Structure 1
């Protein structure tokens, strides 16, 4: 579930292993590039943390962030999350 805090949408994902986490990140990267809206993220082994905000709008949450979050959720569903 996404939470909004510190002017960003934030969500943490846990996968079965690093390979699955990295595959997820690749899929998210392709969508982010398509939308021209790129996340801040962090990966450690099987965990991925994503933060979304719109830099051009002053680092606040905008509809662009909500759209990317929805697309990320669809990808995560494919991993059973």
Structure 2
């Protein structure tokens, strides 16, 4: 579930292994590039942390962030179970 912390939408994701986490990041990268809205993220082994805010709006949460978060949620809903 996305939470708003320090003017950012934040969520952590856990996957079966590094490969699954990296595949997720690759898929999110494609979505983010198409939206021209790029996340801050980190990855350690099977965990991915994403933080969304809009730099052009003063690093606060905007509708662009909510749309990207929704697209990420949809990606996860539609992925086949490992």
1:1-80 matches, within 5 Å, as: 1-77=1-77, 78=79, 80=81
Question: Deviation of residue 79 (structure 1)?
Answer: 5.3
Q: Deviations over 1:9-56 (max 9, x none)?
A: 000000000000000000000000000000000000000000000000
TM-score by length of 2: 0.94
SS at match of 2:60: coil
Is there any run of 5+ residues in structure 1 with no aligned partner, and where? none
CA RMSD of aligned residues (A): 0.9
Question: Deviation of residue 74 (structure 1)?
Answer: 1.0
Is there any run of 5+ residues in structure 2 with no aligned partner, and where? none
**Aligned pair in 2 of structure 1 residues 44, 79: CA closer, same or farther (>3 Å)?**
farther
> Structure 1 stretches (4+) deviating beyond 4 angstroms?
none
User: What count of residue pairs does the alignment treat as equivalent?
Assistant: 80
